[in-house]
A and B are shown apart, each in its own frame.
Chain A
Amino acid sequence: LAKTTQPISMDSYEGQEVNITCSHNNIATNDYITWYQQFPSQGPRFIIQGYKTKVTNEVASLFIPADRKSSTLSLPRVSLSDTAVYYCLVGVPNRDDKIIFGKGTRLHILP
């Protein structure tokens, strides 16, 4: 499993776009990048998954450069309710039976 590095915490303000970057220098050819969101007292929730370039859904966008050694989760126009911990994970879907959550990035949205 490729190791990931992401900031421990970030602050931002309501209405701003927030970008959380994850480094995964040892990503393997078959690895995908997956992001989860966890609110207090809840389990993590799958947000988005991608392999290369850009993926967008109703919640976020995921930008992956050509070398795939990093990725950026972009949250458009955040609100207070986006305050959560965000986890970046790297591995092979449909092969890896387990995933290991790191410490994640604690995002705090200020009014």
Chain B
Amino acid sequence: SQTIHQWPATLVQPVGSPLSLECTVEGTSNPNLYWYRQAAGRGLQLLFYSVGIGQISSEVPQNLSASRPQDRQFILSSKKLLLSDSGFYLCAWGRGSYEQYFGPGTRLTVT
């Protein structure tokens, strides 16, 4: 069966510090991968998605970036965090079928 992992579960970072969130998927190959963010009390915002290694589509221009160095690994990064980057970050995988499977999420607080 397929499993999706995200870490860390929680993170507190100061403004201006870098960020690296990692997501890995097990039990499937060549999945579509997605990064979402959910600010407190708000809806899900699609940040990036990838249909293959090295292929990244950005939905929201901001100080975040994503990379897919391996088939089942998706990384979300920032060089300098802003207060507005606080939120619940979710990684998901799918096959473009409107059936996505979400990881446990990372709650990021920027102070």
Contacts and interface: CB of A to CB of B under 8 A. Distances in A.
A44 B44 contact: yes
Interface string B45-60: 0100101000001010
Interface stretch (B13-21, B68-76, B93-101): B93-101
At the interface, is chain A mostly helix, strand, loop or mixed? loop
At the interface, is chain B mostly helix, strand, loop or mixed? strand
Nearest to A85: B43
Contact of A45 (B46, B49, B102, B107): B102
B98 A49 contact: yes
A96 B41 CA distance: 27
Assign chain B's interface to a size class.
20 to 34
Question: Among A38, A98, A103, A104, which residue has the most Cβ atoms of chain B within 10 A?
Answer: A98
20 contacts: A34-B99, A42-B102, A42-B104, A42-B105, A43-B92, A43-B102, A43-B103, A43-B105, A46-B101, A49-B98, A93-B97, A93-B98, A93-B99, A95-B96, A97-B32, A97-B57, A98-B59, A99-B46, A99-B98, A101-B36
